[in-house]
A and B are shown apart, each in its own frame.
Chain A
Amino acid sequence: MDILTALMDGLWVALQPANLGLAVLGVVIGLFVGAMPGLGSVNGVAILLPFTFVIQEMTGSYTAPMIFLAAIYYGAMYGGAISSITLGIPGASTAVATTFDGRPMALTGQADKALVAAAVASFAGGTISTVLFTMFAPPLASVALQFGDPEIFALMLLAFATFVGLGGDDIPKTIFSICFGLVLATVGFDIISGEPRLIFFDMVGFSDGIQFLVLAIGVYGIGEMIWTINASRSDDKMAEVTITAKRVMAAIRSFAGAWRGTAIGSFLGFFVGILPAAGATPGSLMAYGVTKMASKDPKSFGKGNIDGVAAPEAANNSASTGSMLPMMTLGIPGSPTTAVLLAGMVIWGLQPGPLLFSEQPDFVWPLIGSFYVSNVVALLVNLAFIPVFLWMLRMPFTILAPIIFVLSLVGTYAAYQDMFDVWLMVLFGAGAFFLRLLDYPLAPAVLAIVLGPIAEPKLRQSLLFSDGDISIFFTRPIAGPITITALILILLPLIKLIRDKLRARRAPAG
């Protein structure tokens, strides 16, 4: 009951006009930053961090600037879906999985449904995770501490397994795609030994590794654009969407069909989010994979399944709340954005860590209250803007294609401020088109380049611990079950194949 009273007080503070106004402003800024390809929540928060001093001076509290920054974070999670769906370019790294099904939905005239599903799922994910956060923050912090290197590696293995172990896709090609992504993920300086690896032609640009967004924007921006041009060769294959209040209402009703993805995304996203080093991008990709696996109709994923939009969107919002947890209770950022927020808290003179909840309740509870408020605000603002986003879709493709091209270039440059990455992105885009002609799935490569840099050091750190003995992944109480589940999922298609062969042999006999 203590928690409830504290939460009520916190909500009351969060609803004060100044704080509410900051939440609205933050959400709107976040929405646009998130919708801009290349710019994500981390850019928005980092750029506006110095501005929060003004807020702090005006309001005289630490809470107000933090509410503002947290609102940008959430707004960006909502906004990322917009360009993923309407343009097919991921607005932010966290929204890559949203393009898998959001884009096909837009191409078949269901953009309104996809946008509404993204908004409502984001809201559900954000709210469910905030409730979990409110009730279990301190105990969950100690769970996060139990996750050592072998546990995180086992979890990453599980994420890969969800992509391999699915029926439908061509499995050898999926594995090839994962390996391609993993190779790209090893480029750059090795964390463990400090040695340079795969620095092609001694180009300095490779020394920091191949950034995930470079591949993602290349594949989904440039690659998709060339694909559409090739497929249509004429103007405007995009289905028209008319905007009426009735259609929006119908879209909201159709969201009921996405409950499964939303639920999986909300809980899985939160859990992945609280683990340091993971963050919202792996969370949304994993949620997509698991939802596809749990679906009755996995084959429709990638072709415009509403669950495929809801799951990653619920997950990235849920994970962004989740990643606040290790930041506040352990002082460890769970995502790049929380790293900047953490810097902000330090600058304001707060000491994030195990004692924050007991020593700074005046800071913590209004902030938690603002999570609830920001999510409601973000949902309303987002729904109100949907007609504008749909209007963008009505542009003929001859106009849209150059816009996508320019946004891809600008977005990549904005993310890393390096022309090298822009060229690389264009190269990946062209390559993606040819791989797609040959029917290679590219989502697994994107997954691999996100998870590879997390999984590889964890694998090697674990093996350093055990002096090279792989039993460390099986004997530890948390890592063991996860590893075994992952292995079963990877082997499942093989077992299925053998079973089908046996059956086929028995059938003519009997």
Chain B
Amino acid sequence: MIVTKRLFCAALGAAALTAASFAAPAQAFEPNKPIDFVIMAGKGGGADKMARLMQSIIEQQDLAPRPLVPINKAGGSGAEALVHMKGAKDPNHTIMVTLNSFFTTPLRQPGLGVDIMEFAPVGRMAEDTFLLWVHKDEGVTSFDQFLETAKSRGSDWVMGGTGKNSEDNIITDFLNNNYGLDIKYIPYKGGGEVAKQLAGQQITSSVNNPSEALGFYESGDVIPLVAFTDERLPLFPDVPTLREVGGDFSYFMQRSVVGAPGMSAEAQAYYTDLFSKAYQTDQWQKYKADKSLMGDFMAGDDLKAYWMVQRDRHEAILKASGAIN
């Protein structure tokens, strides 16, 4: 009796398995080895924190049959990561989390031979925002006061940022060119270090992401003056946008996951599905709200179209600042 029951179960199981394998040709791809999860920045920065959060969510919710293995490739504003992706031996198991250096680095270094349109658009997880921060002892509480003070101090007003021609440098150039300022820009290794330099008054202002400055904001050491967004941020309801104070400029940083060039359409569909599930988890939504991230999930052709717009915009910005011809 028992034997027959067991047999029956086994037969049923086998039937179910065959049925499943026939029924799922659309989801043909499943990772069969650990997935290389390349991070375009160093350990401890905003991109790294976010990548490790994604990895943890996928692990915790058991969303993927194989683990994601984070690899930091920070060299040359992402140049190293891009070249690594381009030469990936197994594109179906190689994905990367990107910043805006995804647009700027190939523009600045055409010698790399990287065309971002060859990358697989897996999913945009968020757009990070930028605010202008000053130390509370500076006695500056509004954007107008900032302009006045920065103008009177000339090149003694120091903006800390995260590398030459980085997102921070682009915003600083915008301020200098449009308001007749002469702010001195000093590049540091990462947004966290910039936040610390401002809290210690080693520099006079920064354009940190909220996630980087939040600790010192809550303790009252630094204050935000203006947000480089289109609408006010829910986390900082009293901080006006640059558009409100008369500027015509907003700037975001994409937090997208991309697949290596040459990834199959099936694999791309698999990863898009994986990251859209991760996007919908409570943890990701909470992180987005806590760190004042914007932007909805975006994938496939929409994401490629977004890349196209962003690349053109960065090309225009870099040309205007003289970084490229």
- Report the minimal beta-carbon distance from B318 to chain A, rounded to whole angstroms: 12
**A188–B75 touching, CB < 8 Å:** yes
**B215–A194 touching, CB < 8 Å:** no
On whether A343 and B218 interact (CB within 8 A), knowing A330-B199, A417-B71, A464-B186, the answer reads: no
Q: Which of A46-54, A167-175, A282-290, A292-300 contacts B (4 or more CB under 8 A)?
A: A46-54
Q: Flag whether B196 is at the interface (Cβ < 8 A).
A: yes
A residues with CB within 8 A of B: 42, 46, 49-50, 53, 144-149, 188-189, 191-194, 196, 204, 207-209, 276-277, 326, 330-333, 336, 338-340, 342-344, 346-347, 349, 351-356, 417, 457, 461, 464-465, 467
Q: Flag whether B286 is at the interface (Cβ < 8 A).
A: yes
Bound Cα distance from A356 to B219, whole angstroms = 10
**A207–B80 touching, CB < 8 Å:** yes
Bound Cα distance from A347 to B51, whole angstroms = 11
On whether A333 and B192 interact (CB within 8 A), knowing A50-B55, A340-B52, A343-B52, the answer reads: yes
**B76–A196 touching, CB < 8 Å:** yes
Bound Cα distance from A338 to B43, whole angstroms = 10
Q: Flag whether B66 is at the interface (Cβ < 8 A).
A: no
On whether A343 and B197 interact (CB within 8 A), knowing A192-B187, A355-B215, the answer reads: no
Bound Cα distance from A147 to B199, whole angstroms = 11
A–B complex contacts, Cβ < 8 Å, 11 sampled:
A50-B56, A144-B200, A145-B200, A148-B200, A189-B75, A192-B164, A277-B189, A332-B195, A344-B52, A349-B290, A353-B219
- Report the minimal beta-carbon distance from B96 to chain A, rounded to whole angstroms: 15
- Report the minimal beta-carbon distance from B216 to chain A, rounded to whole angstroms: 6
**A340–B196 touching, CB < 8 Å:** no
Residues of A within 8 A of B192 (CB): 331-333
Q: Indicate the member of B56, B79, B155 with the most A CB atoms within 10 Å.
A: B56
Contact with A along B228-245 (1 / 0, CB 8 A): 000000000000000000
On whether A53 and B44 interact (CB within 8 A), knowing A276-B193, A342-B49, the answer reads: no
Q: Flag whether B93 is at the interface (Cβ < 8 A).
A: no
Nearest A-chain residue to B220, judged by Cβ: A354
Contact with A along B182-214 (1 / 0, CB 8 A): 001011110011011101101000000001001
Bound Cα distance from A340 to B70, whole angstroms = 11
- Report the minimal beta-carbon distance from B148 to chain A, rounded to whole angstroms: 22
Residues of A within 8 A of B287 (CB): 346
Bound Cα distance from A50 to B48, whole angstroms = 14
Q: Flag whether B98 is at the interface (Cβ < 8 A).
A: no
Bound Cα distance from A191 to B165, whole angstroms = 11
Q: Indicate the member of A326, A349, A352, A461 with the most B CB atoms within 10 Å.
A: A461
**B77–A336 touching, CB < 8 Å:** no
Q: Flag whether B74 is at the interface (Cβ < 8 A).
A: yes
Contact with A along B39-83 (1 / 0, CB 8 A): 000011000110011011001100000010011011111011001
Residues facing A in B282-312 (CB within 8 A) are: 283, 286-287, 290
**B286–A349 touching, CB < 8 Å:** yes
**B44–A340 touching, CB < 8 Å:** yes
On whether A208 and B195 interact (CB within 8 A), knowing A193-B164, A336-B43, A352-B215, the answer reads: no
Residues of A within 8 A of B43 (CB): 42, 333, 336, 339-340
- Report the minimal beta-carbon distance from B58 to chain A, rounded to whole angstroms: 9
**A148–B202 touching, CB < 8 Å:** yes
